[in-house]
Homo-oligomer: A and B are copies of this chain.
Amino acid sequence: MARNKPRSGGEQVSDLTAGRLSVYLRCLTALDAAGVKTTSSKSLAAQFHLNAAQIRKDLAYFGEFGVRGVGYYVSELKTHLRVILGLDRSVRVGILGAGNLGLALADYQGFKQEGFAIIGLFDVAPEKIGSQSRNGVRIHDLQEFERLARAGEIDIAAVAVPGSAARSAIGLAVGCGIRAILNFSPGTVKVPPDVKLKNVDLTVSLESLSFFLARGEASVPTP
């Protein structure tokens, strides 16, 4: 059995590491589903195009989960990763903006699969309020978001409003005590240091690709 250095939440973990932990969890889930009992950093690296040393280093940071000479027990490591990622409890997501993107996010199956709970869609347009997405996620008034957020019933705000409304939507969420925001709107918004803002900028992604096409370059996938 391996249990040694469960790191106290002191040091800063990089965003890239956090993302990789999520990737590792997905790999382990696949192996588990395939009935694989044990694996190693080398085998994970080979199968999923990762670097073995990096996997070991990322994992070792949170404790000694491996067994020397053997590797990692798939199901055990999976459980550890779920705890590390905070997925052992329900993570409640509220979506700001019930446009095309907001509606698509609400019905995105990947979230449900990973255990995220979509609390609802929130918009300001009176004609949308009361209706629901294809899969039955209800659209509420933005005030309802405020109420729920202040009551501590929303963990993550997904912001999918038009660019012009992004700043105020993010400001609102922060004001209600939201500590984690996934922002799909364009622009450079600043948040207090205790709030984690993650930007998914579709225009920037497409324009980067256009740039590499224009240069005739290409290479490594972007994680």
Contact = CB atoms under 8 A, between A and B. Distances in A.
Interface stretch (A122-130, A144-152, A200-208): A200-208
Nearest to A11: B217
A114 to B, nearest CB: 5
B217 A13 contact: yes
- Chain A interface: which size bin? 35 or more
B221 A197 contact: yes
A180 interface: yes
Contacts of A48: 188
A177 B193 CA distance: 44
Interface in A143-165: 155-156, 158, 162-163
A196 interface: yes
Interface string A164-202: 000000000000000111100011111101111111111
Given A85-B214, A86-B214, A221 B199 contact: yes
A222 interface: yes
B206 A156 contact: yes
A203 B114 contact: yes
How many copies of this protein are present in the complex? 2
A26 interface: yes
B23 A204 contact: yes
Nearest to A183: B221
A21 interface: yes
Interface stretch (A34-42, A68-76, A102-110): A102-110
A8 to B, nearest CB: 10
Nearest to A162: B109
A13 B209 CA distance: 12
Interface of A: 9, 12-13, 15, 18-19, 21-23, 25-27, 48-50, 84-87, 91, 93, 100-101, 103-105, 107-111, 114, 116, 134, 155-156, 158, 162-163, 179-182, 186-191, 193-219, 221-223
